[in-house]
Amino acid sequence: MSRRLLGLDVGGTGIKAALLDGEGRVLRRARWATAELGIARESILPALESRLLGMLAREAITVGDLGGLGLACPGLVDADTGRLHDAPNLRHWEGLDIGPWLADRFRCPVALDNDVNALAYGEWRLGAGRGTRDMVCLALGTGVGGGLILDGKIYRGWRGLGAELGHLSIDRHGRRCACGNRGCLEAYAGAWALSATARRALARRAPGHRALARLLAGQPPTPAALSRAAAGGSALARELWAEAGCALGVALAGLVNIFAPERIVIAGGLSRAGRLLMEPACQEARRRLMNPDVQRLDLRRRALGDDGAAIGAALQAGEERP
């Protein structure tokens, strides 16, 4: 039997797990609420271990069959030491030597990486970026994360601090970003930003606000609700998506000028909006490229769904040498 790989995507609210066979096929998926593992530092890792062992048992797999265990975590992750340093959504986990601990308990190579790096790696190996050598990944979630595959390798930069593509500033006088800078891509093309823009448009009674409010029917203007409203005929909802798309397009043109990627993969919850977001993004990017006839703008949506980071983490662990 080829060795199995286990990948985890640990987020502030939930943990996604994917068990892969030797060919990268997903054998089993699992989801847990992060809060289930408690907040006491000494209980988090044993609680995680028991859930992972339960998952293996349900596939009749023993610890000895595991060829690697990968973890994708938000924030600043030290891939070399296996320690999580700075994770604003996961404060209880900060400073845990999670990599060495899991390597000891599961007796297999463990890989730890930033969640968007893991996602980029998963999409590159088995998803929308398969077969490319240079790939940029943008994860449009609550915020915006980035991942770079350059010359067939993941690029992390000095101390793993690179590829923060969501904080590429696209307007120096622009909106304030959570990072303290102004005009970051994240302040326009993340879920939080999109919903905040929609709330402001409704509050100032922008043209079309009545139709949008009617379609929202009292629900908050989440990206999913704004997609439905756009499909239901709201011009304002379409405009809000177009605005986010244009901001994305400005960033895409910059990324193509810098990296000349073979492909750009758009992941994260906002990628579900499809053409509502991608068409204005593509148009805006083409307008801004140095030479759109020569430069390549190959934009794809993610292919691995919500499990991309867990799958990528598992595959990264498979690359580690025991």
Query: Which residues of this chain interact with Zn ion, rule CB under 5 A?
Result: 167, 177, 179, 181, 184
Measured CA to CA, the distance from residue 56 to residue 63 in angstroms comes to 8
| Greatest pairwise CA separation for the chain in angstroms | 63
Write down the least CB distance from residue 148 to Zn ion, Å: 17
- Identify the CA nearest to 93 among candidates 164, 45, 46: 45
Write down the least CB distance from residue 114 to Zn ion, Å: 16
CB 112 within 8 A of CB 84: yes
Write down the least CB distance from residue 154 to Zn ion, Å: 22
- Identify the CA nearest to 154 among candidates 142, 166, 145, 146: 146
Measured CA to CA, the distance from residue 145 to residue 143 in angstroms comes to 7
Measured CA to CA, the distance from residue 170 to residue 178 in angstroms comes to 15
Residue closer to Zn ion, measured from CB, 189 or 215: 189
Write down the least CB distance from residue 112 to Zn ion, Å: 24
Residue closer to Zn ion, measured from CB, 255 or 276: 255
Write down the least CB distance from residue 184 to Zn ion, Å: 3
Residue closer to Zn ion, measured from CB, 122 or 143: 143
Residue closer to Zn ion, measured from CB, 118 or 184: 184
Residue closer to Zn ion, measured from CB, 156 or 175: 175
Write down the least CB distance from residue 185 to Zn ion, Å: 8
CB 92 within 8 A of CB 44: yes
Measured CA to CA, the distance from residue 232 to residue 115 in angstroms comes to 34
Write down the least CB distance from residue 181 to Zn ion, Å: 5
Residue closer to Zn ion, measured from CB, 181 or 295: 181
- Identify the CA nearest to 317 among candidates 94, 121, 87, 96: 121
User: By CB neighbour count within 10 A (0-12 exposed, 13-18 middle, 19+ buried), where does 119 fall?
Assistant: buried
Residue closer to Zn ion, measured from CB, 121 or 188: 188
Q: CA 28 → CA 14, 17, 54, distances in Å?
A: 17, 8, 12
- Identify the CA nearest to 6 among candidates 83, 42, 15: 15
Alpha helices in the chain (DSSP H): 41-58, 98-106, 115-126, 186-189, 191-203, 209-216, 223-231, 235-259, 275-288, 308-319
Write down the least CB distance from residue 27 to Zn ion, Å: 38
Write down the least CB distance from residue 182 to Zn ion, Å: 8
Residue closer to Zn ion, measured from CB, 103 or 168: 168
Residue closer to Zn ion, measured from CB, 44 or 163: 163
- Three-state secondary structure along 8-74? EEECCCEEEEEEECCCCCEEEEEEEEHHHHCCCHHHHHHHHHHHHHHHHHHCCCCHHHEEEEEEEEC
